[in-house]
Chains A and B, each alone.
Chain A
Amino acid sequence: DAKTTQPTSMDCAEGRAANLPCNHSTISGNEYVYWYRQIHSQGPQYIIHGLKNNETNEMASLIITEDRKSSTLILPHATLRDTAVYYCIVIPNTGNQFYFGTGTSLTVIP
């Protein structure tokens, strides 16, 4: 079962940074934090993942707290196309299955 907690919904103004929080207080030392997003009626899209260090790629940045109990996905300049449901998933590094929670429905407002 999913071991993460995310807000149900968030709004963000277009062009502003979107900061999506995720709580994973029971995370173990060998578990990674993965972020995906799902635009309506499409398959989920991989965004980013990390273990301990902050990560950045062309889509987003992932900030993981020092105690690893929570993380924040940052979309630096949100666009209308970023409107989607964002899922935070925690899994061990042994190739286990993904169990999706309810995610955060992000709406980017013009």
Chain B
Amino acid sequence: GAVVSQHPSRVICKSGTSVKIECRSLDFQATTMFWYRQFPKQSLMLMATSNEGSKATYEQGVEKDKFLINHASLTLSTLTVTSAHPEDSSFYICSAREASAADTQYFGPGTRLTVL
């Protein structure tokens, strides 16, 4: 149980285009989902917290207009990187917290974004 998927696993795009990443909780309902970014040889950095049916809460320094988050259902959250640039190239990871399981977060496998 407690499986989280992400799609796509890898994406390469041209500078200036937008990219959408999906995060799904496959066997549980997630009232809260989180988005992280990880640069090479660095730790995970929390970008935003997404609660189902409400606006996401962004961490300081993360541009909400550039990283659009939608959490329309209890099993799906999406992150859209708008007008992507090479500096947005990174490993994006989502996690989901089960509604009934306190604070344990279950992580997706990550999405490798490369912006040319």
Q: Mark A residues whose CB is within 8 Å of B.
A: 32, 34, 36, 38, 41-46, 49, 87, 91, 93, 95-103
Main secondary structure of the interface of B (DSSP, over half): strand
Residues of A within 8 A of B104 (CB): 34, 46, 49
Residues of A within 8 A of B93 (CB): 43-44
A41 touches B43 (CB 8 A): no
**Cβ distance A82 to chain B, nearest Cβ, rounded Å:** 18
A34 to B108, CA, bound (A): 17
A99 to B112, CA, bound (A): 21
Find residues 87-116 in chain B having any chain A CB closer than 8 Å to their own CB. 91, 93, 95, 97, 102-110, 112
B46 touches A91 (CB 8 A): no
Residues of A within 8 A of B2 (CB): 46
* Most chain B beta-carbon neighbours within 10 Å: one of A32, A42, A44, A102: A44
The chain A residue with its CB closest to the CB of B110 is A43
Partner of A46, one of B49, B91, B105: B105
**Cβ distance B22 to chain A, nearest Cβ, rounded Å:** 14
A100 to B46, CA, bound (A): 8
B109 touches A97 (CB 8 A): no
Known contacts A32-B103, A91-B103; is A98 also within 8 Å of B46 by CB? yes
Interface string of B34-48 (1 = CB under 8 A from A): 101000000111100
A97 to B105, CA, bound (A): 9
**Cβ distance B31 to chain A, nearest Cβ, rounded Å:** 9
Question: B32 at interface (Cβ–Cβ under 8 A)?
Answer: yes
**Cβ distance B15 to chain A, nearest Cβ, rounded Å:** 24
**Cβ distance A49 to chain B, nearest Cβ, rounded Å:** 7
